[in-house]
Amino acid sequence: MENATNRTNSTSRTRILWRFVLNETKASGLELWFDLRAVRWIRVVLWFGALAWLVAIALSITGACFGAQSVDGFCMPDGSFSNNPSGYNIWKTSGFFQITLGFGHLSFALAKFIDIAFDIVSRSPGCHVTVGSSEHACISSRETTKPAFKI
């Protein structure tokens, strides 16, 4: 008799435990659903995209710098060609703004065209954002600082 009572208590405890676990899982799932619906996903995607873009740029620059150490010859900043890349230190402060990682077969004119086109394409949106935000700041400051008397 006592063994059957223990088995019944064990079964009811298991049912209670499973009922509790299922109810808590359902409640947690609903909370998660409402929290995910409240997130501004466009903003999250834009920030993630910007972060991924910056990481990709950093990795490509790092790869180019490591690749420059193992190249048999590379273009010097003055336009000459060197067969001894170890004789030139790309980390010198005098050559910081000089282009020392040449690759591909572009003429100077084509490379300059690509450079100018990239500058136009990449700077135009930045200028529009700057103008828009400064206009918004000026309008809001005019509304908050009204003169106390008329001139």
Per the CB < 8 A criterion, the answer to whether 68 and 85 are in contact is: yes
| Amino acid 102: pLDDT | 58
Q: Which distant-in-sequence residues (6+ apart) come within 8 Å of 69 by Cβ?
A: 85
CA–CA distance, 80 with 69 (Å, rounded to integer): 18
Say whether both 137 and 96 belong to one domain.
no
Residues 33 and 50 in one domain: no
3-class secondary-structure state, position 75? strand
Q: Are residues 87 and 45 in the same domain?
A: yes
- Give the chain's domain count: 3
121 and 145 inside one domain: yes
Tens digit of pLDDT at every position of the chain (151 positions): 555 555 666 678 888 999 999 999 999 999 999 888 888 888 888 999 999 999 998 888 787 777 655 444 566 666 667 666 566 666 677 666 666 555 667 777 888 888 888 877 777 777 777 877 888 777 777 766 666 666 5
Helix then strand then coil, in percent of the chain rounded to 5, is 70, 5, 25
- The whole-angstrom separation of Cα 65 and Cα 59 is 10
Classify residue 82 by its DSSP letter: E
List 74's β-bridge partners, or say none: 82
Please indicate, yes or no, whether residues 117 and 134 belong to a single structural domain of this protein.
yes
Range of the domain at 57: 40-103
